[in-house]
Amino acid sequence: MSKLVAFAAIQGGYKVVSQVEGEYKKALETFDASTKVSFGNTAYYLPVIYSLLGIKVETLEDLKKPLEFARGLLPPHVKGKNHLPYLGPLLDAGMAAIFAYEIKEALRILNEPDFYSFTEDPDVESGSIWLGPADDTILRKRGVEFVDGSAPGFAAIVGAAPTPEIARDIVEDYQKKSLYIFCAANHNNTSVIQQLVDQDVQVGWNTRIVPFGPDISSAVFALGFANRAAMAFGGVQPGDHRKMLMYNKERIFAFVNALGDVGTEWGVAAAGCVNWGFPTLADTDIPEILPTGICTYEHVVANVPHEELCQKSVEVRGLKVTVSDINIPCSFGPAYEGERVRGADLHSQMGGGKTQCTELVKRAEMNEIEDGKVIVVGKDIADLNEGDTLPLGIFIQIAGREFQEDFEPIMERQIHHLVNYIQGIMHIGQRDISWVRVSKAAVDKGFTLKDIGVVLHAKFHQEFQKIVDKVQITLYTEKEDVAKLTATARAEYKTRDERVDKMTDEDVEIFYSCSLCQSFAPNHVCSVSPERTGLCGAYNWMDCRAAYEINPTGPNQPIEKGECLDPVLGQWKGVNEFVEKASRGAVTHYNFYSMVIDPMTTCGCCECIAAMLPSCNGVMTVNREFAGDTPSGMKFTTLAGVMGGGASSPGFVGHSKYNITQRKFIKGDGGLLRMVWMPKMLKEEIKDRLDQYGKENGYPDFYNMIADETVGTTEEEILPFLQEKGHPAMSMDSLIG
């Protein structure tokens, strides 16, 4: 490590801290010291400062302590001819700059509250392209992808490429590897984000190309996202700086790409990222730091050719990615799942209320189908003019020696994700309410409907090879053919729903575990039974059984439930033994049907969180999409922060949306009739099932008895409503004994 590296980084640290001290002084002269300071809808305050120092920054006055801490971290200036090649002073200078950058961004938001949009997608037409720090709703939504491996890591790109075309090629390389791309800073009066926008590339969380901000200080949002993931999903406590940094090194696979001239401010930011184990790779001739120790391999690598930047970054970080080579004219991968096909980009579409679009998967005998055969019956995309619509029926036949009818809906559900993975194609919905939109760009590349079949055939073989031997796909586009398939499909849907709804926990001797989230929440063990779906909403009992059939050593393992220790609370000896072993002794037992007594552990991926409302003798639940206040006194983000990370928290429990109306939902606490409040958006989403539950349990108007935010967001506000409606919880035994 050269003297020049140390000099530049340390000088950069002094420069950044001094600048921010000046901005802070000016803010104190402009605003009262008690003025609120925050990053918006988050329970993690200023997340880097909170996670590493344990300091809760809520006011302008609160910024003083971390800023003083940053100043105290700055090492002595480099002097003399010799410099000992120790990383320590550089890391300290880098960390000081990172703290200062986060304070700088907090002051920017205070001074210019409309500078960032704080949304998932930028408003490109208005010129508002910078999103700023992600709120906790986005963190929870996107964190699941880092947990289940569909997003193996992220590339933080600062600066701008020499040409817009090079910027696009670099970003597309990362998208093909399913990585997120977090962008900040500019070079030569432009940025990678602006270069992409100028080429009509969609940016935002939905395409995994995230425009954090225009300055190098905005890169701190990427570090904040990583640290919040550690707290939300990994149970790392605020202030435990060593565990926080080690967690990031071992579990968050990220790196920095510096495109353009690396000055002292960029240099000290790179030194700061080394603390996290995140290396920096540059396209310019900068001094390198090549020894290993903190990052997986090198710390700073220079002169990386643009066409090699993606592969070299992945190699240096030690990241393992799986890239599927699908023979279609468009790029393919999870990075395109959130891509929109808007009106101006639209070539043609199927379904969405304009035509019928139906999907059906059926088991077939080996001799009935030909593997890899894709048939289009009727018109294809090439037969359409811009703006045309088509009906569409996707009929998939699967043969496999171990393929069962129970697996049909699981495979059917994959269609949504896999079709969305095609660049320029948007898929919404499932079953007989699907909607497919095809972009002009995809048609220009040569996309046809047959490519949908090619993708589904390849991916079903890749991801379900244990149970899939043959796949044949027929795509119908004639109205009569689609109508016929739809009638058949609806009969199948009805049969399936009745079969699943009729299953009970008593019907089976085997439950299944799901340890996908243990990569972020090491102590969390989710147990899935027929009447207790996975709390993330993505896995039910049949899904887990299928996953075990596919991968016997994977995250879904069979659990022999064994002796029933408590049929009301839902506790089994075999489950307890499995949970204790899988959590490495952190959790010895839990109950499936109670949120009051030893409830199941919860991680940050849960769709909803239920909480006791003692004054109302009932419970509430809130879904993660709801950002408002709740009668528990906490928003979803706060609730998740309190109980995420694999804890069993009496009085609270994470669960899926579907689980709400399953027969044994909090049965040990009185069941769903205890539910006194939930957000209106969630009520509407599950209205039909709530109505059915109410009729079956003697309360046909139960849906209207449940309060929502239009009634109130405190127990005092909703209690009169519950009493007026005669809510069943009002006459039940006390919830707290």
As a whole number of angstroms, the distance between CA 263 and CA 12 comes to: 8
As a whole number of angstroms, the distance between CA 365 and CA 588 comes to: 45
Sign of the C-alpha dihedral, residues 709, 714, 717, 721? positive
For the chain, the first-to-last Cα distance in angstroms comes to 66
- What pLDDT is stored for residue 618 in this prediction? 97
Dump pLDDT digits (tens) for 397-416: 999 988 888 888 888 888 98
Q: Is the pLDDT of residue 729 over 70?
A: yes
Sequence ranges of the domains in the chain: 3-317, 334-491, 505-731
Alpha carbon distances (Å) from 244 to 59, 72, 223, 230? 24, 21, 11, 7
As a whole number of angstroms, the distance between CA 249 and CA 255 comes to: 10
Share of the chain above pLDDT 70, in %: 96
Q: 10 Å Cβ neighbour count for 285?
A: 9
Cα angle 417-459-167, degrees, rounded to a multiple of 5:
65
Run of H or E residues at 638: helix 636-643
Identify the band that residue 557 occupies on the pLDDT scale cut at 50, 70 and 90.
very high
Alpha carbon distances (Å) from 494 to 74, 487, 526, 531, 543? 67, 11, 29, 19, 18
Tokens read off for 53: 């120092």
Nearest 5°: phi and psi at 77? Answer: -65, 150
Instruction: Give the range with max mean pLDDT: 338-347, 541-550, 556-565, 646-655.
Output: 556-565
User: When comparing pLDDT for 314 and 98, which is higher?
Assistant: 98
Report the length, in residues, of the chain. Answer: 737
Answer yes or no: are the C-beta atoms of 229 and 252 closer than 8 Å: yes
Q: Which residues 6+ apart lie within 8 Å of 370 measured at CB? A: 470, 472
The third-level CATH classification (topology) of the domain covering 3-317 is: Rossmann fold (3.40.50)
As a whole number of angstroms, the distance between CA 508 and CA 501 comes to: 14
The third-level CATH classification (topology) of the domain covering 334-491 is: 3.30.1650
Answer yes or no: are the C-beta atoms of 669 and 595 closer than 8 Å: yes
Which segment of 153-162, 254-263, 537-546 scores lowest on mean pLDDT?
A: 537-546
As a whole number of angstroms, the distance between CA 501 and CA 688 comes to: 14
Alpha carbon distances (Å) from 312 to 163, 191, 256, 728? 20, 22, 12, 62
Nearest 5°: phi and psi at 614? Answer: -55, -40
Run of H or E residues at 268: helix 264-274
Task: Please tell me if the domain spanning 3-317 has the same topology as the one spanning 505-731.
Answer: no
Identify the band that residue 1 occupies on the pLDDT scale cut at 50, 70 and 90.
very low
Answer yes or no: are the C-beta atoms of 203 and 196 closer than 8 Å: yes
Q: Is the pLDDT of residue 357 over 60?
A: yes
* DSSP reduced 3-state for 134: coil
Dump pLDDT digits (tens) for 211-244: 999 999 999 999 999 999 888 888 889 999 999 9
Average pLDDT over residues 180-201: 95
User: When comparing pLDDT for 734 and 337, which is higher?
Assistant: 734
Q: 10 Å Cβ neighbour count for 261?
A: 12
Tokens read off for 164: 């817009």
As a whole number of angstroms, the distance between CA 392 and CA 167 comes to: 37
Ramachandran sector of residue 30 (left: φ over 0; alpha: ψ -120 to 50; beta: rest): alpha
Instruction: Give the range with max mean pLDDT: 287-296, 513-522, 625-634.
Output: 625-634
User: When comparing pLDDT for 567 and 336, which is higher?
Assistant: 567
Identify the band that residue 83 occupies on the pLDDT scale cut at 50, 70 and 90.
very low
Amino acid letter for position 83: H
Q: Is the pLDDT of residue 29 over 60?
A: yes
Q: What is the 3-state secondary structure of 23-74? A: HHHHHHHHCCCCCECCCCCCCCCCHHHHHHHCCCCCECHHHHHHHHHHHHHC
Cα angle 119-710-649, degrees, rounded to a multiple of 5:
70
Average pLDDT over residues 670-688: 95
* DSSP reduced 3-state for 218: helix
Q: Domain 505-731 maps to which CATH number in 3.40.30.10, 3.40.50.300, 3.40.190.10, 3.40.1470.10?
A: 3.40.1470.10
- What pLDDT is stored for residue 318 in this prediction? 86
Run of H or E residues at 212: strand 209-213
pTM metric for this prediction: 0.74
In terms of Cβ atoms closer than 10 Å to its own Cβ (0-12, 13-18, 19+), residue 96 is buried
As a whole number of angstroms, the distance between CA 79 and CA 726 comes to: 79
**CA neighbours closer than 13 Å in the CB half-sphere of residue 678:** 28
Amino acid letter for position 176: K
Closest CA to 246 of 52, 10, 53, 516: 52
Cα angle 486-492-497, degrees, rounded to a multiple of 5:
125
Tokens read off for 466: 């244990």
* DSSP structural state of residue 81: S
Dump pLDDT digits (tens) for 113-158: 999 999 999 988 888 899 999 998 898 888 777 766 778 899 999 9
Closest CA to 652 of 711, 606, 683, 705: 606
**Buried/exposed 519-529: b ≥16 CB within 10 Å, e otherwise:** bbbbbbbbbbb
Residues paired with 181 in a beta bridge: 155, 209
Tokens read off for 250: 């071992």
Answer yes or no: are the C-beta atoms of 317 and 295 closer than 8 Å: yes
Identify the band that residue 5 occupies on the pLDDT scale cut at 50, 70 and 90.
low
